[in-house]
């Protein structure tokens, strides 16, 4: 069982930055692929970024490449999402999720492999 708690969301002007954190409980954090997803009002949950259990592989949706960076610290059971040059269209509830590191890498762009989810943190970008 893994419990995930996000923090770091807030209100920021366009062009600003935020860093989201997701702390996981449990001793097996290092065995999971960690992902960030976001959901805007009235829209489906979308993939943002994911990172392999070792941190050596990262994956991003096209709209955030070059602006967002995902990283993890397995000693602290924490995954981060550094978000720079934020845009109003980035406004959403951001959730972290954990998936077993047993799927092909393409699978992690979908929410399906992820077994555990946090409650989410609101990110609002004003224009």
DSSP letter for 91, please: -
| Residue among 84, 83, 114, 86 at smallest CA distance from 101 | 114
Distance CA 43, CA 34 (A): 22
Look at residue 69 in the predicted model and tell me its pLDDT: 98
What is the per-residue pLDDT for 36?
98
DSSP secondary structure string, 43-68? Answer: S--EEEEEE-TTSS-EEE-GGGTTTE
Q: State the chain's mean pLDDT as an integer.
A: 95
What is d(CA 88, CA 124) in angstroms, rounded to the nearest whole number? 7
Mean pLDDT within 53-77: 96
Answer whether residue 27 shows pLDDT above 80: no
């Amino acid at each position: 069982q893994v419990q995930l708690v996000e923090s770091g969301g807030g209100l920021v002007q366009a062009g600003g930055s935020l860093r989201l954190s997701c702390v996981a409980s449990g001793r097996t954090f290092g065995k999971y692929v960690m992902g960030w997803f976001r959901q805007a009002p009235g829209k489906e949950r979308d993939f943002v970024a994911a990172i392999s259990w070792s941190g050596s592989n990262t994956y991003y949706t096209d709209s955030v490449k070059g602006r967002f960076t995902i990283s993890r610290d397995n000693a602290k059971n924490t995954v981060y999402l550094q978000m720079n040059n934020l845009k109003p269209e980035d406004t959403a509830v951001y959730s972290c999720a954990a998936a077993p590191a047993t799927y092909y890498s393409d699978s992690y762009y979908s929410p399906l492999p992820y077994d555990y989810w946090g409650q989410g943190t609101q990110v609002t970008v004003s224009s």
